[in-house]
Structure 1
Amino acid sequence: MSNTALLVMDMQAAMLSSFGAGPAVTAKVATAIASARSKSIPVIYVVVGFRPGAPEISANNKGFSAAKQQFAGIAPADFMKIHPDLEPLENEPVVIKRRVSAFAGSDLEVLLRSLKIEEIVLTGIATSGVVLSTLREAADKDFRIKVLSDACADREQEVHDFLTTRIFNKQGEVLTVAEWTK
């Protein structure tokens, strides 16, 4: 078993459509998933999700309060559905988080430790959201980190570029999907 895991984060159909992330990102993530599976690297999906009515979202949380309004009419199970081009296999875990970081309010760390994972490879949207928050927390938890820059996206390309070229490399390694899959 590999001590590396690929994290596919917030690649939910509802979020991708509201985010405007195009097929280029999902195609890159799909390539990373196929490569991981071919090398027996565990693929772990992370979705943001809440109970009906989202009681976990405080009015004090500016970002999540706005999202609560935006996704109010979507049933929690529908909101958490992963994009059809990226669906997990039956044996691949789906971790539900309650905040921005993949670790926040989830059992991700327990799962990674039980699989003896020491290195995580990050993909997802948004670069300035789940990717940044997860990278920072994973570094504090002593994981080795790789970020697949072209398998991440942000609403603002300049923010994505700044993070992937100036910030992420201070706590991990930044690669393209092609570089990682060689």
Structure 2
Amino acid sequence: MIKKYPDLANSAVVIIDVQSDYISDTTTLLDQQQASLFEQFPEFSEKVNLLLFNARKNKIPVIHVREKDNCQKSVWLPWWNMLHPPGNIALGEGTPEPYAKELNNEKVFIKWTYDLFHSVGDEFEAYLKHNNIKRLFMCGVLTKACVMFSANSAFCKGYEVYILEDCCADRNKAHHDAILNIYDGYHLKVISSNNLWKKVN
């Protein structure tokens, strides 16, 4: 039975790709992305900022993950560019949004594809095991892409996986809602970030 308010022991908050090239840069919208992320999720920055405040206040480890693509490691780019002809596509540069910048004691992992585990799995898992982390509260952008790819791999690796729905965003809200509805309760659990702090605040 999944508890309404998950335990915070042996847990970490994982913030995925909250970086300017995917969020505040509106020049890289694909044809099917008719609105910027902030138009779709106007409270996103406030929710992420509050999540970080509460995690730090309650001494829950915060792990930042950012995408920094390059033609050598990002071997998916040729097929991506066939699906989305170049011209309006920007590579991930890894620059964090100001409200999601790490503190000096917080770990940052740089990936070069959608899946955190595929990019830096050994290093990431070594960090989790060293800190006895068994439960991951994951969020960020885009919901259907890097958040879900990484969450699926976390499940396959044996971690308890929660998606913080109010701290996730996409450039298409219908996709965001659909993907969370499909997976909630199947191999991961979708919750509000507010539920993390009900028992401790």
Report the TM range for the smaller structure's normalisation: 0.7 to 0.9
Q: 3-state SS of the aligned residue for 2:152?
A: helix
For 2:117, the equivalent position in structure 1 comes to 103
Gapped regions of structure 2 (runs ≥ 5): 1-7, 30-35
Question: 1:118 and 1:67 mapped to 2: Cα distance?
Answer: 40
Runs of 4+ in 1 over 6 A off after TM superposition: none
Question: 2:136 and 2:81 mapped to 1: Cα distance?
Answer: 26
Structure 1 counterpart of 2:79, from 30, 42, 62: 62
For 1:113, the equivalent position in structure 2 comes to 129
- Amino acid in the other structure paired with 1:17: S
For 2:3, the equivalent position in structure 1 comes to none
Gapped regions of structure 1 (runs ≥ 5): none
Q: CA deviation at 1:93?
A: 0.8
Question: 1:45 and 1:8 mapped to 2: Cα distance?
Answer: 5
Alignment of 1:12-161 (within 5 A): 12-18=19-25, 20-22=36-38, 23-50=42-69, 54-58=71-75, 61-63=78-80, 70-71=89-90, 79-106=93-120, 107-161=123-177
Question: 1:104 and 1:59 mapped to 2: Cα distance?
Answer: 12
Question: 2:141 and 2:78 mapped to 1: Cα distance?
Answer: 19
- Indicate the structure (1 or 2) with the bigger Cα radius of gyration: 2
Q: Percent identity?
A: 23
Question: 2:106 and 2:113 mapped to 1: Cα distance?
Answer: 21
Relative to the length of structure 2, the TM-score reads 0.78
Relative to the length of structure 1, the TM-score reads 0.85
Question: 1:55 and 1:64 mapped to 2: Cα distance?
Answer: 15
Aligned length: 175
